[in-house]
Amino acid sequence: MAKSLLFIPDISGFTKFVQTTEVEHSQHVIAELLEVLLAANTQNLKLAEIEGDALFFYKEEELLSQERLLAQIETMFTTFHSHLKLMEKNRICPCNACASAPKLQLKLVAHCGELRFLEIQGSRKPFGQEVIEAHRLLKNSIDSENYALVSKTLAAEIGLPIYYCSRVFRFKEGQDLYDGKELRYIYALIDQEKLVLNTFDEGKTVHFDTPPQLSIQKKFPIAAKTLLEYITNYGYRHYWVKGADRFEYNENEVTRLGSAHICVVNGKHLNFVAVTKTVNIGQLIYGEMTTSPPPVDELYQFYIVTPMASDRCVLEVHVHWKARSPIKRLIMVLFGKRSFKKNLDIALTDLEHFIASRSESD
């Protein structure tokens, strides 16, 4: 039987991350990073299982060449750290989970051997001694949480030199005892400064020369961070933005600058993207813009939260719009501003009722 490849990328710091930060957002962060790693699978590896904070891949009766294996490893690290940089640069949420996410790291183990399979509810699951060894190699004595480890067995099979060195990799030897058996490997610490990170669109900061055309203020008996969560989490929108058929968004993404969502009203799709503008120190802000609603060409809504105490805050909503034609501007003066204000007043009242109901249930 030909040898098969075992390949396990594991997000480092996951357990501590979940135990010490807001659980819901930490789960979103990990789910999003796992999706990113899945998308970085350029060598058609088969996913055996998602194991909490890790992905267990294999390639049945086939090993990647030295060049392809190292390219796959580098792609995983590059994609992972690029996404962490995006999360850091475009972050809106002030919670500990989102603030700590850029500190997560990645360790990756590659091993090989003859595989056996179990049939479980129609799915084939690899098992056997090599599967056990691959997972044990994650519990090693390497003094880092950001590395690539290749078992000596796999390195020998593909001709990967023990002290292979390149721009990204500088391998060393290592070994550990597991249940009295010695497992030898080579490993390289990954310095993200040596990676050529992917580019991404940084969040848009909008500047206005004039005050908002509409501004509303309301006090809430709730912590500022909690209010911001209720506003930015699109899963709560249907509780306080009535009249929409549904909201479409990425459920595994914590809202950040550049996040998109769609509000479907009477079958029409209103496309929104998260933006920001400058506010005072200590204030929290979430903004969104759309080019969808008539009669304006661009509409911006900013929710600015000012903490007053640990359980009290003030919400200001600023609405800016751009209407390029004289007719559109006249419509906004005669009817549009009044309509926007009425809808916004209703939404903030519904938001207040929603928060009150949440407080009662808690």
Rounded to 5 degrees, φ, ψ at 230 are -65, -30
What pLDDT was estimated at residue 67? 98
Tens of each residue's pLDDT in the chain, 362 residues: 789 999 999 998 877 777 776 888 988 999 999 999 999 999 999 999 999 899 999 999 999 999 999 999 999 999 999 999 999 999 999 998 899 999 999 999 999 999 999 888 778 889 999 999 999 999 999 999 999 999 999 999 999 999 999 999 999 999 999 988 999 999 999 999 999 999 998 899 999 999 999 999 999 999 999 999 999 999 999 999 988 999 999 988 999 999 999 999 999 999 999 999 999 999 999 999 999 877 889 999 999 999 999 999 999 999 999 988 888 888 888 887 888 899 999 999 999 999 999 887 76
Residue 15 is predicted with a pLDDT of 73
pLDDT of 362 reads 67
240-249 long-range CB contacts below 8 Å, 24 or more apart? 240/347, 240/348, 240/350, 240/351, 240/353, 240/354, 241/347, 241/350, 242/346, 242/347, 242/350
